[in-house]
């Protein structure tokens, strides 16, 4: 994703974040932006939850943020409202952090190949809700986290980055969740940076980055 300004020089990617949750991933993305690690600018934060932690975090980092009330709106109109805000902010890249609604086809098409999501499992294992519990119930010895491009199927698009996370013998839902989330806080900024700086091609579902991928080990 090479972005150039009018004089032909590389410019930071403009990011819009959409979140339903606590927003801890947002915090780490903003930290990575502010430290200069991430060649990006988070322009806007949108949420469908009035009391989403993401709103507080955006305020803390002085990023424009809006609660878009979904009450009484169908999915298409709601997503149109999101898109209006994102386009108004001149966003190049949409980053989902714990956004619990399924995006409409129109939204996905409009930002095709430019919407990222993070899922707390090594996809294609444990798609959908409660990936932590699914992994525990299945009894896998390794699970992890996946950053992927969003397509019209849930937790399904091309994979940018994965980090394996070991399941420990005494793990509870809480301990496993905490460990995977910790991995996510490092993984998401790294994957976004990699995505922005790579000259991405696609071979079927497989992404070809044209440069060595970020190095990581299982944790």
Annotated catalytic residues are 119
Write the DSSP assignment of 132-157 as a string of letters: HHHHHHHT-SEEEEEEEE--SSTT-S
Burial 50-64 (b: 16+ CB within 10 A, else e): eebbbbebbeebebe
Residue 36 binds a second copy (CB under 8 A) = no
The H or E element containing residue 118 is: strand 115-119
Structure tokens at 67: 């609660």
Residue 201 binds a second copy (CB under 8 A) = no
| Cβ neighbours of 145 (radius 10 Å) | 26
Options 5-13, 50-58, 102-110, 208-216: segment touching a second copy (CB under 8 A): 208-216
Structure tokens at 177: 């969740």
The total number of residues written for the chain in this structure: 219
Residue 81 binds a second copy (CB under 8 A) = no
Chain residues 98-157 in contact with a second copy, contact rule CB under 8 A: 122-126, 136-142, 144
Options 41-49, 60-68, 72-80, 204-212: segment touching a second copy (CB under 8 A): 204-212
Smallest gap from Cβ 125 to a second copy, in A, equals: 5
Smallest gap from Cβ 174 to a second copy, in A, equals: 16
Task: Choose, by CB under 8 A, the member of 111, 132, 161, 195 that binds a second copy.
Answer: 161
Options 9-17, 52-60, 93-101, 207-215: segment touching a second copy (CB under 8 A): 207-215
Q: Which residues contact 194 (CB under 8 A, 6 or more apart)?
A: 160, 161, 209, 213, 214
Smallest gap from Cβ 183 to a second copy, in A, equals: 12
Tell me whether strands 93-97 and 65-67 are parallel, antiparallel or unpaired. unpaired
Structure tokens at 141: 């010895």
Task: Choose, by CB under 8 A, the member of 8, 36, 72, 204 that binds a second copy.
Answer: 204
Smallest gap from Cβ 218 to a second copy, in A, equals: 3
Q: Contact residues for a second copy (CB under 8 A)?
A: 122-126, 136-142, 144, 158-162, 164, 169, 204-209, 212-213, 217-218
């Amino acid at each position: 994703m090479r972005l150039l300004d009018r004089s032909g020089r590389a410019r930071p990617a403009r990011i819009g974040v959409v979140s339903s949750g606590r927003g801890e991933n947002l915090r780490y993305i903003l930290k990575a932006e502010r430290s200069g690690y991430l060649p990006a600018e988070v322009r806007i934060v949108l949420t469908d939850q009035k009391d989403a932690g993401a709103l507080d975090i955006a305020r803390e980092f002085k990023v424009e943020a809006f609660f878009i009330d979904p009450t009484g709106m169908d999915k298409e109109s709601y997503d149109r409202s999101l898109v209006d805000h994102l386009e108004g902010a001149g966003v190049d890249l949409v980053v989902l952090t714990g956004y619990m609604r399924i995006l409409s086809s129109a939204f996905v098409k409009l930002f095709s190949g430019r919407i990222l999501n993070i899922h707390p499992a090594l996809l294609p294992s444990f798609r959908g809700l409660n990936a932590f519990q699914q992994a525990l119930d299945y009894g896998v010895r390794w699970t992890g986290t996946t950053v992927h491009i969003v397509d019209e199927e849930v937790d399904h698009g091309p994979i940018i980055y994965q980090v394996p996370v070991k399941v420990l013998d005494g793990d509870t839902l809480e301990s496993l969740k905490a460990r995977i989330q910790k991995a996510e806080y490092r993984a998401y900024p790294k994957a976004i940076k990699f995505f922005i700086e790579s000259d991405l091609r696609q071979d079927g579902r497989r992404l070809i980055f044209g440069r060595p991928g970020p190095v990581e080990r299982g944790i």
